[in-house]
Amino acid sequence: MPSIRSKGRPLPIIIALILGLLFCLAVPATASASQHSPKAGDKSDLICHTSNPEECYPLVFEPTDEFQIVHDDQQLPNGLHVRLNIWTGKKEAKINVPDEINPALEGLPVDQAVVLVDQEQQETIQVPKGAPKYNNVGKIKEPAPGGEAQVEAIAFMETFEMLKTGVIPSDEEFDHGLEGLEELSHDIYYGLKTTEETDVVKALFCLMGTPEGQVSQGATPRGQQAAAILAGALSNNPSALNEIAKIWMELMDSKCPQDGATIHELFYHHTISPADSPAKVKAAVSAINGLIKDEQIRKHFLENNGMKQLLPILFQESTEWAGAQRKIGQLVLDTFLDEDMGAQLGQWPRGQALSKEVCAVPETALEDGCWDYHAEMMVRLHGTPWSKELRKRLASARKANGKLPNHGEL
């Protein structure tokens, strides 16, 4: 009997050990299942602003090999390739590939902006793909050989790609790129390259017509920078002007991504405004001066009352507007009034000067017949040589229009 009791004692202990072992195995499995269960874990990691579950998205951004929009309230893991869309202001991100080649630099043999030259081809100049060689105004000078020219080519193509696609690494890099592009645009080669790409031209016109907003610290406002780039590209560069002239009507009908406004609306109603800075207006006037050297663009400009956009700048009495006002005076003289400067007389102004009573009231102050009155006011206020010349040339033009109906003397 004693032996029977001694053999039966371990049974409860064995059962307890087995149950304990099963419990220990079950706990991790349960925890793992709960961790991967959509109901248990994912629900708390989702952001839902509406009752529609399809509009929910993860709290932590889940990257892929393609760029995706990052919501403002999402958390970004470290080490991603992040960029901004200049029109929407939205961040986009994807998995970072350290050795990924920037498409903008395709065809350029570079390694971190250092030129790689084969020993047997040291005299070959590497330039962006598709560089033009000849056109109807003569040979286009290619960038000079050397490391500095190669760095310029890389910087140009990077900013060119940002404008073309609308996506940027950061606000600071885009603003810095625009400043560099403005410097390069004065070069005939880069000025032509800028105007050859329709999407880049559209982007510059959209930026030029957009009200000035926040900019990176120390950076020039983008509208002003875009206007300066266009002005630089068109300066003494007939080939660049011809490229824009070829797409002018298409350009005017195009819509800007940020608000859906047409470039026509922005160009004729928002590009030049007293609400902008004098520096932006001065740059925009320079761009317009370059554009209307083309006969068809000039005709379109006059048909759409483009001169009305310029006139309010002459109303400004602060001395900070002197530079912009002088630019407008030069535009009017060189384009329409001074034959010695290449102006074609008889295109503008039309009709006779209007009276002070008509031009001193806001409702009619922007009529073409009021340029004489406002030029007279500029002479009285500032007495600048250009304003006196403008007054004199306008009077001569009105005299030539003497056979047209007179709506009142000044």
Q: Which residue spans of the chain are classified as CATH 1.25.10.10?
A: 131-304
Over residues 268-299, the pLDDT tens digits come to 999 999 999 999 999 999 999 999 999 999 99
291 in Cβ contact with 244 (< 8 Å): yes
Q: Residue 148 is encoded by which pair of tokens?
A: 């500095």
For 277, the token pair is 């800075």
Task: Say how many Å lie between the first and final Cα of the chain, rounded.
Answer: 138
Do 87 and 166 touch, CB atoms closer than 8 A?
Answer: yes
Contact 233, 245 (CB under 8 A): no
Count of beta carbons in the 10 Å neighbourhood of residue 55: 10
Please determine, for residue 115, whether its predicted confidence score (pLDDT) is greater than 70.
no
pLDDT in tens, 85-106: 655 656 777 787 766 655 544 5
Highest mean pLDDT among 104-118, 201-215, 371-385: 371-385
User: Which pLDDT score, from 0 to 100, does residue 321 have?
Assistant: 97
pTM check: above 0.75:
no
Cα 163–Cα 218–Cα 149 angle in degrees, nearest 5 = 50
Q: Kindly indicate the confidence band of residue 145, based on its pLDDT and cuts at 50, 70 and 90.
A: low
Q: What per-residue confidence (pLDDT) applies to 247?
A: 98
Residue 252 · residue 209 · CB < 8 Å? no
3-state secondary structure of 58: strand
pLDDT band per the 50, 70, 90 thresholds, residue 47: confident
What class, spelled out in words, does domain 131-304 have in CATH?
mainly alpha
The three state secondary structure string of 94-109 is EECCCCCCCHHHCCCC
- Per the DSSP assignment, residues forming a β-bridge with 167 are 85
For residue 124, give Cα distances in angstroms to 115, 145, 154, 228, 405. 12, 8, 17, 32, 66
Q: Do residues 197 and 164 make contact, with C-beta atoms less than 8 angstroms apart?
A: yes
What pLDDT does residue 211 have? 81
